[in-house]
Amino acid sequence: MHVEPSPLKTHAAIRDARRRGLRIGCVPTMGALHPGHVSLVQRARAECDFVVATIFVNPTQFGPNEDFSKYPRTLEADLEMCRAAGADLVFTPQISEMYAADAETIVRVTKLSTVLEGAHRPGHFDGVTTVVTKLFQITEPDLAYFGQKDFQQQLIIRRMVLDLNIPVTVVTCPIIRESDGLAMSSRNRYLSAADRAVAAEIFQALQLAEQLARESLAAPAEIAERMRAHLEATGTMQVQYATVADPQTLAPLETWQRGTSGVALIAAKVGTTRLIDNLLLEF
């Protein structure tokens, strides 16, 4: 496995692989890898000939009051996980190599970026779409792998890829969970033991939503309220949103109709740690 910080050399290595007729898979990450990320690299390994993972804690997707400076950096462990999962190349750029001092170009998905996560984290998705465009130009993948955990993110990236004709197929991979259902996240390590126990209620709320939807016991807005009530019953969780939305537009779902699918989405702060999770409601 090759570890390469240079954008130009990464591009050259991948061009070379492409020239040899290899199918390129890319897994963009911010490092602090966990089994969720590993599942993406493994999926890329199974479907592609040449697998590139990228590790870059992208400053432009963090708000001024967010955790950029204390975001976990665990490069050695990350590289070991990439190696074990079968990556051929890991791209590990420095910030100065990714952003020129006079850089001023942004890629913006104007509507999907403004709701839910976008409403709570202004500018976040501009940072995501801009850096992912850059990573796609550098790594020129045939397929790119994202986790369903960041549901809105994968939707926005799909929209961007379509709108900009970027020649990549976006693959969304299932959420990997702890044994009690907590979605794996690099931020889980911030949780105290008490908060860690409370955090498991997020998945309980999503499962409640699924049960209510499956049994047609409640309209989408009612289900959203039931999720919120479940989370607030913990006494300590600050719910930022709990919604049942259209999985394509993210607009709140109005009614269940034959063939309707939805996605239950939650963002909540547990202690000082902000967690998100979601569950597709498809029957």
Query: Which stretches of the chain bind its own copies, using CB under 8 A?
Result: 7, 11, 100, 103-112, 129-130, 133-134, 137-138, 140, 159-160, 162-167
What's the chain's Rg over C-alpha atoms? 19
Q: Which residue, 22 or 219, has its beta carbon nearer to its own copies?
A: 22
At its nearest, how many Å lie between its own copies and the CB of residue 151? 18
Q: Which residue, 166 or 239, has its beta carbon nearer to its own copies?
A: 166
At its nearest, how many Å lie between its own copies and the CB of residue 116? 15
Q: What is the rounded distance in angstroms from the CA atom of residue 220 to the CA atom of residue 229?
A: 14
At its nearest, how many Å lie between its own copies and the CB of residue 252? 18
Task: Identify any residues that bridge with 183 across adjacent strands, giving them in sequence order.
Answer: 177
Looking only at the bridges linking them, the beta strands covering 262-270 and 273-281 are antiparallel
Q: Which residue, 105 or 179, has its beta carbon nearer to its own copies?
A: 105
Q: What is the rounded distance in angstroms from the CA atom of residue 269 to the CA atom of residue 94?
A: 30
At its nearest, how many Å lie between its own copies and the CB of residue 259? 20
Burial of 94: CB neighbours in 10 Å, binned 0-12, 13-18, 19+: exposed
Give the strands of the sheet with 24-29, arranged side by side: 2-4, 89-91, 50-55, 24-29, 143-147, 169-173
Give which of 78, 87, 77, 95 is closest to 7, Cα–Cα.
95
In this structure, the dihedral spanned by the alpha carbons of residues 164, 41, 135 and 108, taken in order and rounded to 10 degrees, is 50
Q: Which residue, 160 or 224, has its beta carbon nearer to its own copies?
A: 160
Which one from 34, 37, 124, 230 is the annotated catalytic residue? 37
DSSP 150: S
Q: Is 120 a catalytic residue?
A: no
At its nearest, how many Å lie between its own copies and the CB of residue 157? 10
Q: Which residue, 30 or 161, has its beta carbon nearer to its own copies?
A: 161
Q: What is the rounded distance in angstroms from the CA atom of residue 259 to the CA atom of residue 80?
A: 44
Catalytic residues: 37
